[in-house]
Amino acid sequence: MKKTILLLLVCAGIMNVNAQKVFVENFATATAGSNLEGYNDWYVCGKTTVGTSLGDNMGVSPKIASGSLFYLGYVGSELGNLAVLDSVVGITDDSKRISTKTVVFENGDTLRPIEGQKIYVAFLINFSSHSVRSQRDFFTFEGSATSSSTRGRAFAKLNTAGTDITYALSKNSSSSTTNPYIVSNVFAGGVGQTHLLVMCYNGVAGASNDEISLYINPDLTLPESQQTNKLVATDTQSDYSVTVPFRINLRQRGTGAQVGGIRVGTSWNSVVLGAGTGFNNVSSKDNKIFVNGNSILTEGQGYLKVYNLSGSEVLSSQTNGKFETALNKGIYLVRFNANNGMTYSDKIQIK
């Protein structure tokens, strides 16, 4: 009997180790047009104006919009609704605003930046051409329960024409010259397209040396170690305290964007691909999606959705395995929900 109980305990322990907790924010039950703050415990930053130092509670809350974003292979695609950052809010410091959410898992556990652990935050974003033309941070990590302590700041800058995007990353610096942030290559035509960003907080043993990295539009057929569009912050700042639960911020400083599909956890595979979370039935390999002329072929019956490279849906339909389209020449993203419950995603080219 003791051996049986021991075996059960060991099996339960293995299951708990293998289970990957992931915090998910899809704004799924939020009402379109309502404020983000006040929904699902999102709140305005507690940093208030002191003397000439302006607070981060100016302006107005981001709004909720109906709809969702799509990125090939990302498990957080096409879910829930969107938070909208207003490009007018935060253009000047007297209207800047931070909206904060404490990461709390379904079982009530919180997440803390401990040594030897990585924290991954993945989300989808689509920028508006009305955004400012200078580097402004729009998403940050938060380490304060009462004010603002950002360690991990993602910036974006549009070109003059409002068509291209350049990202930047820092641990906390907002300077391009003194202890500078790290700047990405230009993403030509990136405005109006859906981007997948994955930020990582790596707790390193020692003081003031935790690492912040940003993966931009990763190829989800490749593992984390083979991703090439990656920034690593180099500015020196203090580390987060393990006494304060980990938080995330949406920041309005003149950047207009739609944000959705937020996922937070401690492994790349669970956060980005859904592995070990009970939601990893999306395959971006062996996709069973093919093209013949203008026909999209699938191995079996199901439901197709086709998107352009901006992430906008261009058609959807039931299919019995062959679906004739009138698509123009070009590259498209396809999502196939098979009748057996599996979901496949792939990129196709109509020639």
pLDDT band per the 50, 70, 90 thresholds, residue 19: low
pLDDT in tens, 169-217: 999 988 888 888 999 999 999 999 999 999 999 999 999 999 999 999 9
Judged against a pLDDT cut of 60, whether residue 16 lies above it is answered with: no
Nearest-Å Rg of the Cα atoms of the chain is 21
Sequence-separated (6 or more) residues with CB below 8 Å from residue 351:
329
Q: What are the E-state strand segments in 50-176?
A: 63-65, 82-85, 97-102, 118-127, 136-142, 153-158, 165-170
Percent of the chain with pLDDT over 70: 91
pLDDT in tens, 266-291: 999 999 988 766 554 444 445 578 88
Q: How far apart are CA 230 and CA 186, in angstroms?
A: 13
Judged against a pLDDT cut of 80, whether residue 5 lies above it is answered with: no
Contact 304, 296 (CB under 8 A): yes
Averaged confidence pLDDT in the chain: 88
Would you kindly state where each structural domain of the chain is located, as residue ranges?
19-280, 283-350
189: region left, alpha or beta (phi > 0 left; psi from -120 to 50 alpha): left
Judged against a pLDDT cut of 90, whether residue 45 lies above it is answered with: yes
pLDDT band per the 50, 70, 90 thresholds, residue 300: confident
Judged against a pLDDT cut of 50, whether residue 10 lies above it is answered with: no
SS3 content of the chain, % helix, strand, coil (to 5): 10, 40, 55
pLDDT band per the 50, 70, 90 thresholds, residue 23: very high
Sequence-separated (6 or more) residues with CB below 8 Å from residue 99:
36, 37, 42, 43, 44, 45, 61, 62, 249, 250, 251, 252
In this prediction, residues 83-108 reach a mean pLDDT of: 95
Specify the fold of 283-350: Immunoglobulin-like (2.60.40)
If you write DSSP's letter for every residue of 71-89 in order, what string do you get? Answer: -TT-TTTT-S-EEEE-TTT
Residue type, 93: D
What is the predicted pLDDT for the residue at 277?
61
Judged against a pLDDT cut of 90, whether residue 73 lies above it is answered with: no
What is the predicted pLDDT for the residue at 284?
44
Judged against a pLDDT cut of 80, whether residue 4 lies above it is answered with: no
What is the predicted pLDDT for the residue at 11?
39
Q: Which of 120-134, 165-179, 293-307, 309-323: highest mean pLDDT?
A: 120-134
Instruction: Name which residue leads in pLDDT, 329 or 194.
Output: 194
CATH code for residues 19-280 = 2.60.120.200
In this prediction, residues 15-20 reach a mean pLDDT of: 47
pLDDT in tens, 313-322: 899 999 998 8
What is the predicted pLDDT for the residue at 3?
35
pLDDT in tens, 133-153: 999 999 999 999 889 899 999
